[in-house]
């Protein structure tokens, strides 16, 4: 089930994340799957440090502009590219695995992790 969330800066999506953190960088639209938030919350608890969302929801136009895959899970609000200050992406990937993410992509340069809730396991390095 997809949940469309209005962008209200005062309203938290969960304990650690706000809807605007997932908003498309070009238009501010937000679409976020509740399972994505649940697993990010679990990851945040495992890490014990702030998780920065580089890219959450992307509208089709923005996804194309940033060279995302045509059927990218970002377009469905089911993916996030995340960074944790000072954390090694490979270690981060191990924790994402524990948090229960399905798709996990490690991007050592520039150092971020893609996580998604596609419903089946997928692992890659970008
Ligand atoms: Zn957009
Ligand atoms: Zn991604």
pLDDT in tens, 73-105: 999 999 999 999 989 888 999 999 999 999 999
Query: Could you tell me the CATH number of the domain that includes residue 111?
Result: 3.30.1380.10
> Could you tell me the distance, in angstroms and rounded to a whole number, from the CA of residue 123 to the centre of ligand 1?
27
pLDDT in tens, 19-68: 999 999 999 999 999 999 999 999 999 999 999 999 999 999 999 999 98
> Could you tell me the distance, in angstroms and rounded to a whole number, from the CA of residue 63 to the centre of ligand 2?
10
> Could you tell me the distance, in angstroms and rounded to a whole number, from the CA of residue 119 to the centre of ligand 2?
15
| Domain that includes residue 74, residue range | 3-125
Q: Backbone phi, then psi, for 3, in 5-degree steps? A: -120, 125
How many domains are contained in the chain? Answer: 1
On whether the pTM is more than 0.85, the answer is yes
Which residues are CB-neighbours of 69 under 8 A, at least 6 positions away? none
> Could you tell me the distance, in angstroms and rounded to a whole number, from the CA of residue 73 to the centre of ligand 2?
8
Q: Tell me the Cα Rg of the chain.
A: 13
Ligand closest to Cα of 79 equals: 2
């Amino acid at each position: 089930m997809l949940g469309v969330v209005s962008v209200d800066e005062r309203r938290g999506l969960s304990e650690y994340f706000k809807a605007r953190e997932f908003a498309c960088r070009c238009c501010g639209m937000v679409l976020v799957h509740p399972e994505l938030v649940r697993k990010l919350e679990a990851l945040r608890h495992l890490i014990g440090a702030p998780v920065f969302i580089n890219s959450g929801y992307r509208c089709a136009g923005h996804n194309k502009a940033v060279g995302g895959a045509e059927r990218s899970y970002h377009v469905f609000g089911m993916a996030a590219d995340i960074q944790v200050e000072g954390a090694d992406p490979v270690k981060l990937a191990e924790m994402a695995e524990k948090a229960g993410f399905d798709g996990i992509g490690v991007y050592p340069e520039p150092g971020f992790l893609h996580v998604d809730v596609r419903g089946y396991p997928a692992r890659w390095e970008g």
